[in-house]
Amino acid sequence: MLYLRAFGHSLLHALKNLFPIVLVVVFFQLAVLQQVPDNTLSMAFGLLIVAVGVALFLQGLELSIFPVGKSLSNQFALRGSIPILLAFGFAIGFSAVVAEPALIAVAMQAQEISGGRIDALTLRLLIAVSVGLVVALGVFRTIIGYPLHWFMVVGYITVMIVTWFAPEEIVGLAYDSGGVTTNVVTVPLIAALGIGLAASIRGRNPLRDGFGLVALAVMVPMITVQFYGILVYSGEQPEGGELLMDTNTSKTSVPGPLKILLELAEMVRDVLPIILTILVFQYLVLRRRLSNPRKILFGFALVILGLYAFVVGLKIGLFPIGTSMAEQLMALDGFLFVYLFAFMIGFATTMAEPALIAIGQQAEDAAAGTLNGNAIRLFVAVGVALGITVGVHRIIAGDSIHYYIMGGYLVVIILTSIAPRYIVALAYDLGGVTTSEVTVPLVTALGIGLASSIDGRSVLIDGFGLIAFASIFPIITVMAYAIVVEKLAARRKESS
């Protein structure tokens, strides 16, 4: 009964996240387009499956991964062993990202659109390894006390240099990959590790030193995926590339029950790294038994079922909605409503993002009155809305993503040099938590739908990149907010 009540709460939570999307889509369908898509019922059913999948997934996290992961973080922080902390940081970063639903969705889309040239599993493993390494680096930074902004400035300069040489087919995907690595699984675990470390080390400030791991986890995959693209696109298109895509989609010919078992086995493979990480560090490093193994095992089963339902719901719900809306809006005269839809979707979904609400409250508490949590949410939502709108304009105009992204990060680097030190780590982290497991598939499908609806656009080159814009602009708006707040406070102090 307790589990059912908790599941009901998680389901309401997932439906609440979906509600802004439904509201915006219904408004545009009735007030602007004045028509109803033929597959409305199937898309609505897909949305319901997504909500059930997210609810099961979140409930499983609460029963298994979150409590065990936080407990391990606290115990390793108390031990103070740097090698163990670095190894645990790598393992948590790797295992959480491999099982990230939003990354699974983007990788699936990339493999399908590239005809198999970009391999979904290879892409996910590459991103997971890079996140694991950079989380270990972030843990080391927190322990030693190095300022985060130097890491970020050097990192983003590297990003811009690599972007200049990367093939255009991979740039948008690389930036999107960075934006989706930090989400419903990763953010709580990585943030808890960073804040717990900063709180347990004398002389560290939780606001200045505890945040920043999420930001590093967003940045480094952008570099590694672009290097992957340079390698993949340096040669000729391999023969049989289309066949590779066909073999992945040919599972539809497998009988229903067997197909479900095969897909569930894939979900087990996705979650297995987290399970192994927890078991290895719990039993071999700490040499302690799990406090409630049956409850934790049940939680892992819910995580697997939730992931399966989520992926099924994506295919029949969120992906078709984004593609359908893009096609319908492009059929109208002018692009005004396309921009308006992009802005409203970005703003509405971000304001309802639970990870953003939680981090905004944590920041307000850590800043001791310096920051306002609701103001942070508002500026982040405006940043996401502006970012997605600018990204949509890039697709419509057909401009190269290189110049937009490099210009955006140049502004970020400039603001980093003049913003108050206490806001830098938080601002970078907020850029990584603005895209939820529900928002990412919809925004990805919107970009792909726009690119496929405009003559002369490449789906692979132009379709990806919206998530990257949704990650850059919140960093800019939050830093600008902190700069203004600090200047106003200085003026009030001078006048008094």
351 falls within a domain: yes
Distance CA 289, CA 10 (A): 28
283 falls within a domain: yes
Instruction: Give the sign of the dihedral formed by CA 464, CA 138, CA 474, CA 414.
Output: negative
Distance CA 324, CA 47 (A): 14
Enclosing domain of residue 359: 9-234+254-495
Two tokens, residue 278: 């927890």
Distance CA 49, CA 55 (A): 10
CA dist 235 to 117, 229, 232, 245, 472, Å? 11, 11, 7, 19, 32
Q: Is the Cβ–Cβ distance between 101 and 187 less than 8 Å?
A: no
The confidence score (pLDDT) of residue 339 equals 92
Which among 25, 79, 7, 14 is positioned nearest to 288, based on CA atoms? 79
For 237, which DSSP code?
Answer: P
Q: Is the Cβ–Cβ distance between 229 and 167 less than 8 Å?
A: yes
Q: Is the Cβ–Cβ distance between 145 and 204 less than 8 Å?
A: yes
241 falls within a domain: no
CA dist 217 to 52, 80, 152, 335, Å? 28, 23, 11, 35
The confidence score (pLDDT) of residue 57 equals 79
Report the run of H or E that residue 212 belongs to, with start and end. Answer: none
| Helix orientation angle between 120-144 and 101-113, rounded to the nearest 10 degrees | 140
Distance CA 466, CA 32 (A): 23
The confidence score (pLDDT) of residue 306 equals 84
Where does 245-300 show beta strands of DSSP type E? Answer: none
247 falls within a domain: no
Two tokens, residue 304: 């697997």
pTM for the model stands at 0.72
Q: Is the Cβ–Cβ distance between 184 and 129 less than 8 Å?
A: no
Domain total for the chain?
1
For residue 331, the tally of other CB atoms under 10 A from its CB is 9
Q: Is the Cβ–Cβ distance between 363 and 426 less than 8 Å?
A: yes
365 falls within a domain: yes
The confidence score (pLDDT) of residue 278 equals 78
302 falls within a domain: yes
Q: Which residues contact 213 (CB under 8 A, 6 or more apart)?
A: 135, 138, 139, 142, 190, 191, 193, 194, 429
End-to-end Cα, the chain, rounded Å: 59
Q: Which residues contact 383 (CB under 8 A, 6 or more apart)?
A: 434, 473, 474, 475, 476, 477, 478
| Helix orientation angle between 293-313 and 256-279, rounded to the nearest 10 degrees | 130
Which among 191, 485, 217 is positioned nearest to 366, based on CA atoms? 191
Which SS3 state, helix, strand or coil, does residue 305 take?
A: helix
Letter string b/e over residues 40-65, b meaning 16 or more CB atoms within 10 A of that residue's CB: eeebeebbbbbbbbbbbbbbbbbbbb
Where does 230-378 show beta strands of DSSP type E? Answer: none
249 falls within a domain: no
For 250, which DSSP code?
Answer: G
245 falls within a domain: no
Which among 171, 181, 266 is positioned nearest to 225, based on CA atoms? 171
Q: Is the Cβ–Cβ distance between 373 and 360 less than 8 Å?
A: yes
The confidence score (pLDDT) of residue 178 equals 76
Per-residue pLDDT of the chain (496 residues; tens, 9 = 90+): 677 887 788 788 778 777 877 888 888 888 888 877 677 788 788 888 888 887 887 788 778 776 776 677 667 767 767 888 888 889 888 887 877 767 877 788 788 888 888 888 899 899 989 989 988 988 888 888 787 778 888 887 888 888 888 888 888 888 777 777 765 556 666 766 776 677 767 777 666 676 777 778 878 888 999 999 898 887 655 444 433 333 344 444 555 677 777 777 877 776 777 778 878 888 888 788 877 888 888 888 888 888 788 778 877 876 777 778 877 888 887 788 889 988 988 888 777 665 676 566 666 766 666 677 778 888 998 999 999 999 999 999 988 887 888 888 889 889 988 988 878 878 887 877 666 666 677 787 788 888 888 888 888 788 888 888 888 899 999 999 889 888 888 888 888 7
For 331, which DSSP code?
Answer: T
Q: How remote is the C-alpha of 89 from its chain's centroid?
A: 18
Distance CA 151, CA 140 (A): 12
For residue 16, the tally of other CB atoms under 10 A from its CB is 12
